[in-house]
Amino acid sequence: SSESKLQLVHRHVRAFPDFPKKGILFRDICPILKDPAALTAVTDLFEEHVRKNHPQVDLIVGLDARGFLFGPLLAQRLGVGFVLVRKIGKLPGSTVSVAYDLEYGKAEVEVQEDGVAPGQKVLLIDDLLATGGTLYAACELMKKQKADILGCMVVIELKELNGIDKLKPHQVFSLLQY
């Protein structure tokens, strides 16, 4: 058909008002995972972006939990490894962690110390950019590891929350913007 890959992906994102709390319009990517053609389209679009803009990438770094759905598929396409940035307390062995502020309270993410070596060129991936707090903390982790951050990638960017500004100077590539 003549439908573009982006249109296909767009058709597989749903919006749920007032989830998980009143006033939040939740963008649900589950229909993408349920449709092999839509999931292939997402992976194709990320792969095209990386091959064109970051062919030197060494590692894809995915964020807990929905970055784990897209990251490994992309890493396999590119022939590079995938590393997990997890919420605190889930990873064995020596880890490095970074705490960050949420709308209410605090959160912390961590990576295994031997996950990323100094100088490795990394691309971070998640499903969605909102305030940017999560990706910002993950970038801080990568800096602690002395990684070379090439950029961030998300399926969805929520523009009104200005997450892009928070992540400067790192570039953010998104497939869909709301």
Which H helix or E strand runs over 174? Answer: strand 172-177
Residue 3 or 108 having the CB closest to ligand PRP: 108
Of 25-33, 39-47, 106-114, 140-148, which segment contacts ligand ADE by CB under 6 A?
25-33
Q: Which of 50, 83, 109, 128 binds ligand ADE (CB under 6 A)?
A: 128
Residue 78 or 155 having the CB closest to ligand PRP: 155
Minimum CB separation of residue 178 from ligand ADE in Å reads: 9
Q: What binding mask, one character per residue, do residues 138-167 give for ligand ADE by CB under 6 A, x or -?
A: --------------------x---------
| Nearest-CB residue for ligand ADE | 130
The token pair that represents 176 in the structure block = 């869909």
Q: Which of 129, 138, 141, 172 binds ligand PRP (CB under 6 A)?
A: 129
For residue 168, the 8-state DSSP code is T
Total of chain residues touching ligand ADE, rule CB under 6 A: 7
Q: From CA 54, how far away is CA 48, in angstroms rounded? A: 10
Residue by residue, DSSP assigns 24-80 as -EEEE-HHHHH-HHHHHHHHHHHHHHHHHH-TT--EEEEETTTHHHHHHHHHHHHT-
Give every CB contact of residue 80 below 8 A, 6+ residues apart in sequence: 57, 58, 59, 60
